[in-house]
């Protein structure tokens, strides 16, 4: 059965989208606007039934409609840590020329064409987005924000807060095209087929922390790439790129990018390639032990498909470039500039420590531009002035081991359980020491403790609880705990099959002759006896020092009258 009701008068309200079994229900205010079996249709019915406001998605589900969930202008989709599983080649979240959209607290799996795609939408805000994707048959891009079709009129104001984690995309992890005004706090990409993060024709951007691992390993894309007339005024505080095709790649008429700190290692084409770009400024960091001939390269390619300009007015300073693997070294050049017929020129390498950057001193630094400058650099054999940081290692993520405890029972090494309403659940992931934890889950749940407890769990608190662990060197890993909550029997208004026993309002009513006796036992969910009493006819309180789920067993002599899970409520 499918039921729609959309009000002709749209007002700012709060909507609730919930699932019970296979049935989805969407409510706007006190009105049901959808009942059916499709998550996408339920969310869209909620969006279409209101103007600006918050749509709370309380359960996980599947995106199986090509143009998926489509929020309207000034709406928030809050998934509360729940999961969208995308079938192949669909777009689970999509917007076209609608402004003021916020997407938050979503976990996505599957093989979408685009996980999130907004076209011509200004003032977009993304918060706490996690994608664990499988390679889609087509495109397979995690997040793309662009300006629809007219690049002459850029979209404005993209804000990304919290933590964005994208893993396993077939294409780029996160891409912008023609955006004026971008702020990104922290983005982590892992095992992407394209770039980890790519900015195209994007200007006035401030990025905090970008960490890319295995972005197009063995290929030409980069952990972080600026392309297609990107810039100016793009500033990134920290770039970490490990085992990518390239660590940083600026190309096709990009200009005006500043990176304050880089740590780039294990890349297969270049540590950094600055090509057909100008006014790039790298202010410090390490480019080391890369699996390619040139750790850093300046060049001009007049045949570049994305646009041509001379490579000039770029600065690299305070960077330590080296390969310390001895006979196993692969880097041939530390920093290499080719003149390319005079097109590559006016670049500056300043105060860099390039000892052992190339295979010998003459290959530590090669500048062929007639007006390019080497200022205050150290080559092999010179006195060092930037340290070989002994702690500088690949900061691999820590494997999280899931542990769950139910109703004070034994710890189980599980990340997926089914419990009854009213149960108490503890999450205790390992490692138990070091690092920091950040949790988010249903109903807006957050915590920074390692071990957390959900007492007297309700149906609304079912869903996915995501634990993000940041180790001592700053790399994050995550574990998702999936909790299914089955409805339990409430003590209010429930009677046994036998008329002599009734449960009502945390009380037990026994009906029978005056001399009749019943043995009443109350157990907690771990099987521990809470109380045992011999009772006669009348009204009796079911007393406990706590509330939640219990098992009530009643005998008349040896005859079992009742054996039922109940909930005692405050």
CA 134 centroid distance within chain: 15
Average pLDDT of 327-350? 96
Q: What is the mean pLDDT of residues 384-390?
A: 73
Give the per-residue pLDDT at 488.
58
pLDDT of residue 527: 67
| Summary mean pLDDT of the chain | 88
Using DSSP's 3-state secondary structure scheme, residue 480 falls into strand
Instruction: Name the token pair of 149.
Output: 């079709």
CA-based radius of gyration for the chain = 30
Spatial contact of 497 and 512, defined as CB atoms under 8 Å apart: no
Residue 257: closest CA among 272, 271, 241: 272
pLDDT at residue 251 is higher than 70: yes
- Banded pLDDT at 208 (limits 50, 70, 90): very high
Residue of 357, 351, 339 lying closest to 288 (CA atoms): 357
For residues 73, 175, 400 and 217, what is the CA-based torsion angle, rounded to 10 degrees?
170
Task: Give yes or no for residue 258 having a pLDDT over 90.
Answer: yes
Contact 423, 60 (CB under 8 A): no
pTM: 0.73
Give the dihedral sign, CA 109/111/112/115. Answer: positive
- Are the beta carbons of 340 and 312 closer than 8 angstroms? no
Q: What is the pLDDT of residue 561?
A: 77
Q: Per-residue pLDDT for 359 more than 50?
A: yes
What band does 356 get if pLDDT is binned at 50, 70 and 90? very high
- The pLDDT of residue 392 is above 50: no
pLDDT (tens digit, 9 = 90+) per residue, 213-223?
Answer: 999 999 999 99
* Mean pLDDT value across residues 555-570: 76
Q: Residue 528 pLDDT more than 80?
A: no
Q: How many CA atoms lie within 13 A of 177 on its CB side?
A: 15
Q: Report, as an integer, the average pLDDT of 221-237.
A: 97
Of the listed ranges 6-10, 115-119, 247-251, 520-524, the one predicted with least confidence: 6-10
Cα–Cα distance for residue pair 563/99, rounded to 1 Å: 56
């Amino acid at each position: 059965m499918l039921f729609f009701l959309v009000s002709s008068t749209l007002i700012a309200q709060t909507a609730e989208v919930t699932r019970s079994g296979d049935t989805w229900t969407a409510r706007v205010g006190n009105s049901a606007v959808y009942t059916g079996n499709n998550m996408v249709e339920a969310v869209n019915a909620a969006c279409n039934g209101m103007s600006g406001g918050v749509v709370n998605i309380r359960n996980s589900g599947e995106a199986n409609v090509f143009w998926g969930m489509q929020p309207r202008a000034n709406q928030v989709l809050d998934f509360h840590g729940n999961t969208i599983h995308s079938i192949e080649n669909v777009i689970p979240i999509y917007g076209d020329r609608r402004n003021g959209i916020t997407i938050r607290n979503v976990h996505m799996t599957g093989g979408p064409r685009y996980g999130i795609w907004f076209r011509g939408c200004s003032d977009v805000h993304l918060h706490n987005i996690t994608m664990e994707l499988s390679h889609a048959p087509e495109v397979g891009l995690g997040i793309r924000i662009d300006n629809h079709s007219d690049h002459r009129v850029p979209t404005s104001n993209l804000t990304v807060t919290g933590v964005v984690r994208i893993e396993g995309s077939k294409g780029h992890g996160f891409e912008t095209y023609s955006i004026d005004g971008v702020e990104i706090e922290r983005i982590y990409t892992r095992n992407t087929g394209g770039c980890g993060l790519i900015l195209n024709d994007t200007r006035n951007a401030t990025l905090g922390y970008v960490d890319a691992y295995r972005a197009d390993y063995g290929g030409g894309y980069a952990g972080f790439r600026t392309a297609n007339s990107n810039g100016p005024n793009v500033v990134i505080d920290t770039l970490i790129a490990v085992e990518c095709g390239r660590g940083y790649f600026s190309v096709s008429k990009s200009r005006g990018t500043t990176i304050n700190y880089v740590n780039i290692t294990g890349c297969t084409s270049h540590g950094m390639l600055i090509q057909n770009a100008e006014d790039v400024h790298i202010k410090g960091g390490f480019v080391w032990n890369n699996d390619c001939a040139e750790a850093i390269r300046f060049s001009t390619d007049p045949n570049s498909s994305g646009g041509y300009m001379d490579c000039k007015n770029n600065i690299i300073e305070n960077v330590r470039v080296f390969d310390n693997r001895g006979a196993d070294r692969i880097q041939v050049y530390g920093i290499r500039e080719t003149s390319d017929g005079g097109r590559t020129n006016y670049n500056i390498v300043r105060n860099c420590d390039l000892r052992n950057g190339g295979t010998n001193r003459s290959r530590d630094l090669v500048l062929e531009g007639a007006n390019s400058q080497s200022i205050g650099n150290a080559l092999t054999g010179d006195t060092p002035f930037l340290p070989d940081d002994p702690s500088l290692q690949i900061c691999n993520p820590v494997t999280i081991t899931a542990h769950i405890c139910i109703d004070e029972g034994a710890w189980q090494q599980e990340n997926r359980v089914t419990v009854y309403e009213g149960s108490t659940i503890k999450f205790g992931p390992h490692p138990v020491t070091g690092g920091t934890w950040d949790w988010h889950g249903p109903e807006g749940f957050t915590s920074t403790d390692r071990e957390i407890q959900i007492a007297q769990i309700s149906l609304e608190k079912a869903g996915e609880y995501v634990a993000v662990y940041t180790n001592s060197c700053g790399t994050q890993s995550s574990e998702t705990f999936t909790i299914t909550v089955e409805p339990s029997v409430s003590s209010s208004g429930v009677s046994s099959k036998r008329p002599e026993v009734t449960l009502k309002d945390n009380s037990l009513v026994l009906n029978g002759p005056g001399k009749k006796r019943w043995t009443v036992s109350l157990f907690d969910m771990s099987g521990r006896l809470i109380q045992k009493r011999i009772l006669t006819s009348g009204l009796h309180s079911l007393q406990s020092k706590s509330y939640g789920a219990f098992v009530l067993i009643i005998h008349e002599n040896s005859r079992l009258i009742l054996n039922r899970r109940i909930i005692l409520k405050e």
